[in-house]
Structure 1
Amino acid sequence: MKTIKIAIADDQILFRKGIIGIINSFENIEIVFEASDGQELLDLFEKAEEIPDIAILDLSMPVLNGIDTTKILHEKYPDVKIIILSVFSEDRFVTHLMEIGVNAYLIKNVEPEEVERAIKTVVEKDFYFNEAFLSAMQKRISGKKTRLMLQDIIPTLLSQRELEVLDLICKQYTAQEIGEKLFISTRTVDGHRNNLLEKTGMKNTAGLVVFSIKNNLIDPATLM
């Protein structure tokens, strides 16, 4: 199995060194460079001979915070996955981050095993949502009225095949698995995914899942 390369940015030195030690203990995962803020991380990306697979970012950093760093990374290095580590857990805030292209959001008090699981899942399936996040999403949409406008235009916005692909994406099937289930090629699956991103305005697969949950296309309870 290919070693997953990770860059990390966090201004809290003790925490950063601790998480580096934890991540380097995981099998087939290694930290390739570290930074104390987003700008320093971007400078290291510019100099890197090999671009990391994942950037793990603290949300609140001096000079350049996690949100602004995410936006720049997406523009310059679109293949890099983003995992945010933060002390904030408010679900509206987390949802916004997923919509701008973050692949996973973890609270800093999670167990090391979940960090490892999130890293590997993000590489394999493009996003990682834990039970806490999905429960928060479910609470957020409960009691809300269905978005009539979107429900009305969904049949014209997305084709039936795109809806089928979207449903399987939300259930964390890989492109190959989706292709096998729908009897289409992986390239065709990727084409449908790209169309979904363009039509919904989302940045990545994580955003597609958030879009589906917010617009009642899928129940978060089915993803737990």
Structure 2
Amino acid sequence: MKMNKPVKIVFADDSDIHHFLLENLVTKFVRLQLLIKAKDGEQLLDQLSNINVVPDVAILDLHMPSVDGLTAAQYLLSRFPFIKIYGFTSSSDEREKSDMLASGFLKIFPKNKLRELLIELSQLA
């Protein structure tokens, strides 16, 4: 019998409100486990170096101070080749979204669709 393991998530966004929303929403999904919350890509990468768990999914904001979502995604994909990266942005710039997809992001969610993003993640095998 196959056991469904939790989907291990790392999250980087410079918005306190999105950290609060994610923390509260993720508890409603049994199959999701939030490993790391970071204020930017640099903090995320630093925290990842201190854990011995391989994340399944990264949710990255595009525009963050220090290390942005594109740079963080490149590093994550080089270190964790099977990680699934989802964009989480308020940007409506189609060129930026194209750049995200070309950099390895699987899908991009607008910031007002966090619940929908978590629903999708909870259905990952």
Amino acid aligned to 2:103? I
Length, aligned pairs only? 122
| Pair 1:102-2:87 in alignment | no
- Per the alignment, residue 115 of structure 1 pairs with 117
- Per the alignment, residue 30 of structure 1 pairs with 33
Which of the residues 71, 75, 78 maps onto 2:78? 75
- Which stretches in structure 2 are left out of the alignment for 5+ residues? none
Which of the residues 84, 93, 105 maps onto 2:87? 84
Counterpart of 1:110 in 2: which secondary structure? helix
For the residues of structure 2 that align with 1:79 and 1:13, how far apart are their CA atoms? 28
Q: In structure 2, do the counterparts of structure 1 residues 25 and 41 end up closer, same or farther at CA, with 3 Å as the change threshold?
A: same
TM-score, normalised via structure 1 length: 0.51
Q: In structure 2, do the counterparts of structure 1 residues 116 and 15 end up closer, same or farther at CA, with 3 Å as the change threshold?
A: closer
For the residues of structure 1 that align with 2:122 and 2:25, how far apart are their CA atoms? 15
Amino acid aligned to 2:51? A
For the residues of structure 1 that align with 2:37 and 2:114, how far apart are their CA atoms? 21
Residues 79-102 of structure 1: CA distance to partner in whole angstroms, max 9, x if unpaired?
Answer: 211111100133333222112100
Residues 107-143 of structure 1: CA distance to partner in whole angstroms, max 9, x if unpaired?
Answer: 011261x11233145x44xxxxxxxxxxxxxxxxxxx
Aligned positions of 1:206-217 closer than 5 A = none
User: Which has a greater percent of helix?
Assistant: 1
TM-score, normalised via structure 2 length: 0.87
Residues 145-182 of structure 1: CA distance to partner in whole angstroms, max 9, x if unpaired?
Answer: xxxxxxxxxxxxxxxxxxxxxxxxxxxxxxxxxxxxxx
Q: In structure 2, do the counterparts of structure 1 residues 27 and 82 end up closer, same or farther at CA, with 3 Å as the change threshold?
A: same
| Pair 1:58-2:61 in alignment | yes
Q: Highest Rg: 1 or 2?
A: 1
Q: Would you identify which runs of 4 or more consecutive aligned residues in structure 1 move more than 4 Å?
A: none
For the residues of structure 1 that align with 2:94 and 2:14, how far apart are their CA atoms? 24
- Per the alignment, residue 196 of structure 1 pairs with none
For the residues of structure 2 that align with 1:118 and 1:27, how far apart are their CA atoms? 13
| Pair 1:16-2:19 in alignment | yes
Q: In structure 2, do the counterparts of structure 1 residues 36 and 111 end up closer, same or farther at CA, with 3 Å as the change threshold?
A: closer
For the residues of structure 2 that align with 1:18 and 1:110, how far apart are their CA atoms? 11
- Which stretches in structure 1 are left out of the alignment for 5+ residues? 125-224
User: Which has a greater percent of strand?
Assistant: 2
Aligned sequence identity (%)? 27
- Per the alignment, residue 2 of structure 1 pairs with 5
Counterpart of 2:82 in 1: which secondary structure? coil
For the residues of structure 1 that align with 2:32 and 2:122, how far apart are their CA atoms? 9
